[in-house]
Amino acid sequence: MKSEKSVVKIYKMKVAKTIESVRRLVKNARNAGEKIGFVPTMGALHTGHISLIETAKKKCDFVVISIFVNPTQFGPGEDFSRYPRPINAEVNICKKTDVDLVFVPAVRKMYPTENLTWVTVEKLTEPLCGRSRPGHFRGVTTVCAKLFNIVAPDVAYFGQKDAQQAIVIKRMVADLNMPLRIVVCPTVREPNGLAVSSRNQYLTERQKKDAANIYQSLQTCRNLIEAGTTDTRQIIAEMQKILQRIPSVEIEYISIVDAETLESIEKISGKVIAAVAVRIGTTRLIDNILVDAGT
């Protein structure tokens, strides 16, 4: 039986708070022959998310977005409690982007008992952000496995900005034979090059200007590779110079890795990812570019 409180109609868009109602609504759409697209988010929706939704709307008949700030992917001392949760504004954004279904579960719906089951991806989660955020990717893969099982989409959309996350999720889907396809969409940037992120809300105007240097360092990397530089140490040194110009920027890592294995490389060849993580004040920012250097 349909519970009146578990589904709220807003124009054509529906907002579901329970797993059962999401399953029922998606099943109806699937039975009507519709292709299901899914954009998992932690809310704090920005133009990056909107571009994922727009891509999903173009390619699918029925688009589901989840808004769930997942506690299991935050480490102790990370920003779980201060992570922005402007839920009414979010629902309005979804309405404007013509989303069909918004899933906004409470934490107790997603984790009704102590969670004992974890999905982990080895190797790919070790470098880059894996080093400074132990347990983070385990939380991401576990909650994505749960959401994929609940929503049962044909396609799920992720942003290139979280390159390592996208690669890890893709590998999980392949290794566990999950019946969906992962599509990775380009990073959306502010006019000054700063990658759009929910955590940009934490930045002052001054810090946002400083943060633009992250993308500058990545562009320098691309230019050097395109000019034929193959020594990653030399490239990283140039990137470091750019970031060190800004006193407020504390570098966590600058890495150039194989785009498939995420292993560090000494000599540029094939597809590589240049990735940067910094802290500006108390805010951690990441960005990356994919460069195909040929063989």
User: Which residues are catalytic, by number?
Assistant: 49
Q: Which of 146, 188, 203, 255 binds its own copies (CB under 8 A)?
A: 146
Query: Could you say whether residue 145 binds its own copies (CB under 8 A)?
Result: yes
Contacts of residue 248, Cβ cutoff 8 Å, sequence gap at least 6: 206, 207, 210, 280, 281
Backbone torsions φ then ψ of 161, nearest 5 degrees = -55, -40
Q: Does 115 interact with its own copies (rule: CB under 8 A)?
A: yes
Nearer residue to its own copies within complex by CB, 123 or 131: 123
CB atoms under 10 Å from CB of 180, counted, come to 16
Stretch that binds its own copies, among 49-57, 145-153, 215-223, 278-286 (CB under 8 A): 145-153
Pairing status of strand 181-185 against strand 155-159: parallel
- For residue 174, state whether it binds its own copies (rule: CB under 8 A): yes
Contact present, 52 and 185 (Cβ < 8 Å): yes
Identity at 265, one-letter amino acid code: I
Instruction: Residue 178: count other Cβ atoms within 10 Å of its Cβ.
Output: 17
- Which part of the chain contacts its own copies (CB under 8 A), choosing from 84-92, 141-149, 199-207, 281-289? 141-149
How many residues lie near its own copies (CB under 8 A)?
28
Nearer to its own copies, 23 or 208 (CB): 23
Query: Which listed residue (129, 140, 166, 172) binds its own copies by CB under 8 A?
Result: 172
Give, as ranges, the residues between 182 and 211 that touch its own copies (CB under 8 A).
Answer: none
* 33 lies in the site for its own copies, by CB under 8 A: no
First to last CA, the chain: 59
DSSP per-residue letters across 169-188 = HHHHHHHTT-SSEEEEEPPP
Does 246 bind its own copies (CB under 8 A)? Our answer is no
Q: Is 178 in the site for its own copies (CB under 8 A)?
A: yes
Q: Closer CB to its own copies, residue 120 or residue 192?
A: 120
Q: State the Cα–Cα distance between residues 179 and 152, nearest whole angstrom.
A: 8
- Cα dihedral sign for 229, 235, 241, 242? positive
Burial class of 48 by CB neighbour count within 10 A (0 to 12, 13 to 18, 19+)? buried
The reply on whether position 134 binds its own copies by CB under 8 A is no
Nearer to its own copies, 55 or 142 (CB): 142
Which residue in 3, 47, 132, 149 binds its own copies (CB under 8 A)?
A: 149
Give the residue, chosen from 15, 19, 256, 275, that forms a contact with its own copies under the rule CB under 8 A: 19
Using CB under 8 A, list all residues that contact its own copies.
19, 23, 113, 115-124, 141-142, 145-146, 149-150, 152, 171-172, 174-179
